[in-house]
A and B are shown apart, each in its own frame.
Chain A
Amino acid sequence: MEACPLYLTKNFKNPAALTFDGYVASGGYVALKKALSMQPQEIIDLVKAGNLRGRGGAGFPAGVKWGFLGKTEGPKYLCVNADEGEPGTVKDGPLMEFDPHQMIEGIAIACFALGIKWCYIYIRGEFYKAHRIVQKAVDEAYAKGVLGPKVMGSGFQLDVALHPGGGAYICGEETGLLSSLEGKKGFPKLKPPFPALKGLYGAPTIVNNVETLACVPHIINLGAEAWNALGTEKNGGTKMYNVCGHVMKPGYYETRHSITLRELIYDVCGGMKPGRTLKGVVPGGSSSPILLPSEIDVRMDFDSLGKAGTMLGSAAVIVMDDRTSIVRALDNLLHFYSHESCGQCTPCREGTHWLYLISQRIVNGEGKAGDVDRMLDICNNMVGNTICVLADAAALPTQSYIKKYRAEFDAYVLDGGRVGLLGNREEKAAAHA
């Protein structure tokens, strides 16, 4: 496999890039300068042509989203979603910690293209270090005239403020984020109206992920064609993938969008740990349905994974080997979702909790016949019936885990997890002796 040129992560081993001068020396702020000489609509068209997909998880084309921004007079906002919280995901944190100016440059270009003067960076509360680094970079950008009343000497004005999150997964959902930013409880808002028309404080608002904005300068620099050439048909550019679990070299990697899951696991990450075989892999963060070893010859882009019945999400790949108990993995997942449901909508508030209660009973060896079917039925009553997609994020993986590993679930219910490698430590040790 030919090596992929690095864009998003090119400064990750260049500590100098943390400073303004270092970033400029690495070729930074050239794109912003170029953008300021372009027509705003040209930039939006360029991003559209570059097939930049929203990298928070939904994969909605960023340029199209920008095109929806309300054309009203009065304030409009850009909110940067830096509340990275999808289990398994490590991409926005490093992007801010190692190359904060890249994001700031992306913000400035986006705001210029959209005619936005105010930007909030809603940063996850636990990202203390990243918060400090980004704040320092923002301060320096102000001092160097990249932010403030005259962006790089142009007539364009831009103010950027950081806001630490309150510590809830749901505040990473774009409208939950807006509620939280408004000082309210992080309840997602009803759509329609969509944030692009009625968002923060009722004003037109674009919410973009950190990685999405970090891509923008590179599209300006490379042009749409070259950027597109790095990806697949409708998924432009390179992408950050983070792989965790039972592989030799877990970590985050920037590669072409066109890479397959098999290549990612076996070529990029060095394959499974010695003596282990692949049992299942979650391709896009905990909310995405699981894939069997037979299903990993799939391209890691939004559309290919969608066709495979799962999703790219935050591109957080969780690899599980043959010694993993899928029942317990699901239990862990359900604990997370029942804890993180905001509680606004009935099906999610009660459903996630109930799923976890049943799962706990199964894991504790008290499962009964019918439990697994009941879980599937609960999932059916949750999917698509709530304001945001947290209910789907809990229910769709649950359905896929159960459907693809049904025998394991049934066995666990029957023997209470006491048999085989799934529960009892001594037996497990004996099995591997």
Chain B
Amino acid sequence: MPKLTIDGKEIEVPAGTNLIEAAKTMGAEIPHFCYHPGLSVAGNCRMCLVEIEKAPKLQIACNTPVAEGMVVITTSEKVKKARAGVMEFLLLNHPIDCPICDCAGECYLQDYYMDHDLKASRLEEGKTKKQKAQPIGEHVMLDKERCVLCSRCVRFTDEVSKTFELGIFGRGSTEEIGLAPGKVLDNAYSGCVVDLCPVGALTDRDFRFKSRPWFLKETETVCTGCSMGCNVVLDTNTNPYNKVGEARAYRLFPRENKAVNGYWMCDEGRYSHKAIDQGRAQSAALEGRTVPLESALHRLAGIAAPLVKAAPARAAFLLSPQLTNEALFAFKRLAASLGVAQVEVGDDLKAVGKADGYLIQADKNPNSRGAQDLGLAPRAGVLGGSALLASAEAGNFDVLVVVGHVLQPQRLKALGAKVKALVGLQSHAHEGSEAYGVLLPMAVAAEQDGSFTNHQGRVQRNRKALEPLGESQPGYALAQALGHALGSPQAKDTPADLFLGWAKSLPQSAHLTLETLGTQGAASAASAVPA
């Protein structure tokens, strides 16, 4: 590995690393607009100019690989002047409409202006006018005046989505980003260009004008939209005066994880945050009548507990691959303590979509692999989801606990007629749920800590960003409440306790702790995918 010196500090980084990445390893930032580690090097913004000993001219850090003995200076007067010059050029025709720009607060131009320029504009001739607020796709709005022409979005559609919707048109000072003739920015990853845009030229039509970024709390978590488990940041509102409707979750955007999603995520996952606030089941219900959670659990104890006790073989848990490892583990433990053998995730009932060969997976559940690892997948001696429901419809079960599955109204009606205690644990209200004798409100993933195992076998942390809505409770907590009601009290384990319990229960995960998962997750030993 080559050794080099950046601003007097000697570092050692792998050969082939460019100077921007090399500086990052020592905690220094070389300012840049066009460079992005997930895209090819364009080298056009000229912001990352640095001085390299023995080089006659300033060099762009993004296109300069490290070399043995290289001496890099990023703080000299020459570099400072070049940066200030580039900033002045970039801001020359920029509209400076920060007060009405969504990007204000997370804009490279603002940050770098404070760091490297801090001068008034010297332009006296009037700024170039370009088109503002042009919708270029379902999710993205383009403001050509704010654009710094870094070409990140164009390179994204060329290199990552490979859909070629965007291009640079015109030349010189009239140059602008635009749609290729006859195209609309409608690829499955279109939202990524908003994250990529270092300024406010590309904004998210969903997030636009909803909140200032400084009112948002960032939670590093994973997307639950499919079995990929893309690493994301969930932004939730912290400003009580900034409410848009009842929404608490404002946006999702990807965070880097080279082993999973690189730097990207799909639009389907990106806008899945809406489900956190919309159509939620917030309170318990008895045959459709809203009641306090306590009353519902009391009823459960009255009806279901004796039935389970009398005939555990006529009781069943239908779990879901939407649940965290912790919840699945808690339910599995509960079923065992009750002597209920029929416990399964209903693999054949789960939502399935279309895979695209890149990030989007066909399996729309975040934890199918986790359920499989726990031995909750379809197996000999246990009825699969559909078979279980058919059997219950035929009157073979007295107690059926359905966790996180949305069943057809007719089917629920038929089940309600035959099953003496039909119990539903649901995060979202849905048609026909009055058929559940007891319905308990369940928290969504964003409202609880836990872990998911993605389709590669990578265990990743899901973090709590919000308090559970209404009276809803996380799956693992409901398992504990259920245990209490059904006469088999469970330990009041926290998600962290449950994680360790879960990990120890599986040979391939025994080495995992929350610390080893960190922000990037870790492969369970049984998986073929390296950590």
By Cβ-Cβ distance, the 9 closest A-B pairs, closest first, are: A381-B85, A343-B175, A353-B173, A350-B89, A357-B125, A341-B172, A384-B57, A190-B43, A344-B44
Give me 30 A-to-B residue pairs in the complex whose CB atoms sit less than 8 angstroms apart, sorted by A's number.
A339-B172, A341-B171, A341-B172, A341-B173, A342-B171, A342-B172, A343-B149, A343-B174, A345-B44, A345-B45, A346-B47, A346-B89, A347-B46, A349-B172, A350-B89, A350-B93, A352-B173, A354-B123, A357-B123, A361-B124, A361-B125, A380-B85, A381-B82, A382-B85, A384-B57, A385-B57, A385-B58, A385-B82, A386-B46, A387-B44
**Chain A residues in 8 Å Cβ range of B86:** 346-347, 381, 385
Residue of B nearest to A357 (CB): B125
A338/B172 in contact, CB under 8 A: yes
Q: How far is the CB of A187 from chain B (nearest CB, A)?
A: 8
With a cutoff of 8 Å between Cβ atoms, the chain A residues found around residue B492 in the complex are none
Contacts of B82 in A (CB 8 A): 381, 385
Bound form: Cα–Cα A317–B45 in Å: 34
**Interface residue? B230 (CB, 8 A):** no
Given contacts A343-B173, A346-B90, A386-B46, 19 further A-B contacts (CB under 8 A): A168-B171, A185-B168, A341-B173, A343-B149, A343-B172, A344-B149, A345-B45, A349-B89, A349-B175, A350-B89, A350-B173, A353-B173, A354-B125, A358-B125, A361-B124, A361-B125, A374-B122, A385-B57, A387-B43
Closest A residue, CB atoms, query B40: A190
Are B125 and A343 in contact, CB atoms less than 8 angstroms apart? no
User: Contact string, A325-345, partner B, CB cutoff 8 A, digits 1/0?
Assistant: 000000000000011111111
Q: CB within 8 Å of A: which of B130-155?
A: 148-149
Given A350-B92, A354-B92, A357-B125, residue A343 in contact with residue B170 (CB < 8 A): yes
The yes or no answer to A351 lying at the interface (CB within 8 A) is: yes
How far is A168 from B343 in the complex, measured between Cα atoms in Å? Answer: 71
Q: How far is the CA of A345 from the CA of B85 in the complex (A)?
A: 13
Q: Is B265 an interface position by the 8 A CB rule?
A: no
A343 and B92 form a contact (CB under 8 A): no
Tell me if A347 and B89 are in contact (CB < 8 A).
Answer: yes
For chain A, what secondary structure do more than half of its interface residues adopt (helix, strand, loop), or is it mixed?
Answer: helix
CB neighbours (8 Å) of B173 from chain A are: 338, 341, 343, 349-350, 352-353
Which residues of chain A are within 8 angstroms of B43 by Cβ–Cβ distance? 190, 387
CA of A386 to CA of B43, assembled, Å: 9
Residues on A with C-beta less than 8 A from B102 are: none
Query: Is the Cβ of B89 less than 8 Å from the Cβ of A351?
Result: yes
List A353-368 residues whose CB lies under 8 Å from chain B.
Answer: 353-354, 357-358, 360-361, 368
Residues of B within 8 A of A353 (CB): 128, 172-173
Cα(A342)–Cα(B44), bound, Å: 11
- The distance in angstroms between the C-alpha atoms of A171 and B19, with both chains bound, is 30
A346 pairs with B171, CB closer than 8 A: no
**Does A384 lie within 8 Å of B92, measured CB to CB?**
no
Shortest C-beta distance, A346 to chain B (Å), equals 5
Give Cα A407–Cα B431 distance, bound, in whole angstroms.
85
List B33-54 residues whose CB lies under 8 Å from chain A.
Answer: 41-47, 49
User: In the complex, A357→B42 CA distance in Å?
Assistant: 28
Residues in A whose Cβ lies below 8 Å from that of B161: none
Assembled-state Cα–Cα distance A347/B148 (Å): 11
Say whether B81 faces chain A, with CB atoms less than 8 Å apart: yes
> Does B63 make an interface contact (CB < 8 A)?
yes
Kindly provide the distance from the CB of A358 to the nearest chain B CB, expressed in whole angstroms. Answer: 7
Does B220 make an interface contact (CB < 8 A)? no
Which residue from chain A places its CB closest to the CB of B92 in the assembled complex?
A350
Q: Tell me how many residues of B have a C-beta within 8 Å of chain A.
A: 35
Please tell me if the beta carbons of A350 and B122 are within 8 angstroms of each other in the complex. no
Chain A residues, Cβ within 8 Å of B46: 345-347, 385-386
CA distance A215 to B316 in the complex (A): 91
B88 within 8 A of A: yes
Residues of B contacting A: mostly: loop
State which size class the interface on A falls in: 20 to 34
A347 to B43, CA, bound (A): 12
Rounded to whole angstroms, the CA-CA distance of A353 and B49 in the bound complex is 22
**Is B88 within 8 A of A385, CB to CB?**
no
Looking at the assembled complex, report how far the CB atom of A334 sits from the nearest CB atom of chain B, in whole angstroms: 12
CB <8 Å contact, B44 and A346: yes
B93 surroundings in chain A (CB, below 8 A)? 350
Interface string of B157-168 (1 = CB under 8 A from A): 000000000011
- The reply to whether A349 and B149 contact each other, CB–CB distance below 8 Å, is yes
The CA-CA distance from A151 to B122 in the complex, in Å, is 61
Query: How many angstroms from the CA of A226 to the CA of B44 in the assembled complex?
Result: 45
Whether A347 pairs with B85 at a CB distance below 8 angstroms is yes
Alpha-carbon distance between A185 and B81 when the two chains are bound, in angstroms: 31
User: Is B85 within 8 A of A385, CB to CB?
Assistant: yes
Q: Which residue of A lies closest to B172 (CB)?
A: A341
**Chain A contacts of B58 at CB under 8 A?**
384-385
B residues less than 8 Å from A342 (CB atoms): 171-172
- CB-CB nearest in chain B for A341: B172
Interface positions of A from 148 to 197, Cβ below 8 Å from B: 168, 170, 185, 190, 192
A192→B64 CA distance, assembly (Å): 9
Min CB distance, A364 to chain B, in Å?
11
Alpha-carbon separation in the docked complex, A170 to B175 (Å): 14
Chain B residues with CB under 8 Å of A345's CB are 44-46
How close is B96's CB to chain A, nearest CB, in angstroms? 15
Cα(A374)–Cα(B168), bound, Å: 30
Convert A46-68 into 0s and 1s, putting 1 for each residue whose CB lies closer than 8 angstroms to a CB of B.
Answer: 00000000000000000000000
> Across the interface, which residues of B come within 8 angstroms of A340, CB to CB?
171-172
Assembled-state Cα–Cα distance A287/B287 (Å): 85
Point out the residues of chain B lying under 8 angstroms from A351, CB to CB. 89
Partner of B148, one of A192, A346, A386: A346
Most B-side CB within 10 Å, residue of A342, A350, A358:
A350
Q: Given the complex of chains A and B, what is the CA–CA distance between A368 and B125 in angstroms?
A: 12
Bound: A384/B57 CA distance, A: 6
Q: For B122, B167, B170, which residue has the most chain A Cβ atoms within 10 angstroms?
A: B122
Q: Which residues of B contact A385 (CB under 8 A)?
A: 46, 49, 57-58, 82, 85-86
Closest to A169 in B: B171
In the bound complex, residues from chain B placing their C-beta under 8 Å from that of A386 are 46
User: Given the complex, which residues of A lie within 8 Å of B42, measured CB to CB?
Assistant: 190
Closest residue of chain B to A352 (Cβ to Cβ) is: B172
Docked Cα-Cα span, A86 to B90, in Å, equals 28
Question: What is the CA–CA distance of A350 and B170 in the complex, to the nearest angstrom?
Answer: 14
Report whether A381 and B170 are in contact in the complex, using a CB–CB cutoff of 8 Å.
no
B residues in contact with A357, CB < 8 Å: 123, 125
Q: Bound state CA distance, A346 and B171, in angstroms?
A: 12
Which chain B residues border A344 with CB–CB below 8 Å?
Answer: 44, 149
- Chain B residues contacting A352 (CB-CB under 8 Å) are 172-173
In the assembly, what is the distance between CA of A385 and CA of B93, in Å? 19
A123: min CB distance to chain B, Å: 21
Contact with A along B45-77 (1 / 0, CB 8 A): 111010000000110000100000000000000
> Using Cβ atoms and an 8 Å threshold, which residues of chain A touch B174?
343
B57 surroundings in chain A (CB, below 8 A): 384-385
In the complex, what's the smallest C-beta–C-beta distance from B290 to chain A, in angstroms?
60
B44 and A381 within 8 A (CB): no
Which residues of the other chain, B, contact A360 by a CB distance below 8 angstroms?
125
Q: How far is the CA of A386 from the CA of B89 in the complex (A)?
A: 13
- Docked CA distance A354–B121 (Å): 12
The smallest beta-carbon distance between A339 and chain B, in angstroms, is 6
Closest to B33 in A: A346
Q: Nearest-CB distance from B52 to chain A (Å)?
A: 13
Measured between beta carbons, the chain A residues less than 8 angstroms from B172 are 338-343, 349, 352-353
Neighbouring A residues of B175 by C-beta, 8 Å: 343, 349
> Looking at B41, B47, B92, B171, which has the most chain A CB atoms within 10 Å of its CB?
B171
**Within B258-303, which residues are at the interface with A (CB < 8 Å)?**
none
